[in-house]
Copies of this chain bind each other. A is one copy, B any other.
């Protein structure tokens, strides 16, 4: 268990470095009129790279194609990064601090932030279909579909619309979960299913991995809500306590802190169970990743 953990920390660092180098290469500075600078500012040198790690760990577990996996890993991260840029804008959350730095619109202006987000979304799809054909067309097509579905109206963007409409509204737990399943869950789940799509897995294995991804997504959000009340802004690298300040429903506001913590543990157990049902054998990295998400401190 200890050695597994040491392995995981080393694996995570290695993969985070590899993702950083790939993003450095693929998010180019030479986009015109400062757009490249804004895009790189939004993407580079920040974040835990959780979504890329989920893609890469799942790809390893299924024996997936490594070039496709790195492209998929960066594509989901670009979608995540663009959503943060747009979400921070004054017409949305109006946040000025992200990962301990001024948000993109504070640094580059709102118009450039809007365009940088738009261009990052396009770049995400571009990465999935390399011009050199190093990813098979069937895999590119599959990855594009999974990413588009998770990012769009049935996924992340739809979840954000529900989130906007939920301020000051008394959501019940199923509604809150449905909102988060779209808003953050869809892209986290897609990280797992896209990782699986770089290999060749049975329908049952795919279903188990999708269930695992859904549980990790839910656990992520419950813990996010817990940290919003238990951690400070410096630890989080973003404004703490902002959900309560904005009168947004959270797992903590609905369940109370203690029950929310117990719920995070239960969902985490379900994630591990789903993984065990997958029929795959090299799963310790995915198990460790789930624990990392469910028990993180920031």
Which residues does A use to contact B, with CB under 8 Å? 28, 31-36, 39, 82-83, 86, 89, 91-92, 109-112, 114-115, 117-119, 121-123, 125-126, 128-129, 131, 137-138, 140-142, 144-145, 147-149, 151-155, 157-162, 164-165, 182
Contact = CB atoms under 8 A, between A and B. Distances in A.
A138 B31 CA distance: 28
A117 B239 CA distance: 27
A110 B110 CA distance: 12
Contacts of A165: 33-34
Contacts of A89: 91, 114
A170 to B, nearest CB: 16
Residue picked from A33, A138, A155, A157, most chain B C-beta under 10 Å: A157
Assembly stoichiometry (copies): 2
Main secondary structure of the interface of A (DSSP, over half): helix
Given A92-B111, A129-B148, A148-B123, A153 B117 contact: no
Contacts of A137: 137-138, 140-142
10 contacts: A33-B158, A35-B157, A82-B118, A89-B114, A91-B111, A118-B157, A119-B157, A126-B145, A128-B144, A144-B144
Contact of A158 (B31, B109, B111): B31
Given A32-B182, A128-B144, A121 B118 contact: yes
Contact of A35 (B125, B128, B144, B158): B158
A217 B142 CA distance: 31
Contacts of A34: 161, 165
Q: Which of A144, A147, A154, A162: most chain B Cβ within 10 A?
A: A144
A129 B86 CA distance: 26
B31 A154 contact: yes
A122 B138 contact: no
Contact of A140 (B36, B141, B162): B141
Nearest to A164: B111
Contacts of A161: 31-35, 112, 115
Q: Determine which residue in A28, A114, A140, A142 has the highest number of CB atoms from chain B within 10 A of its CB, and name it.
A: A114
A126 B146 CA distance: 8
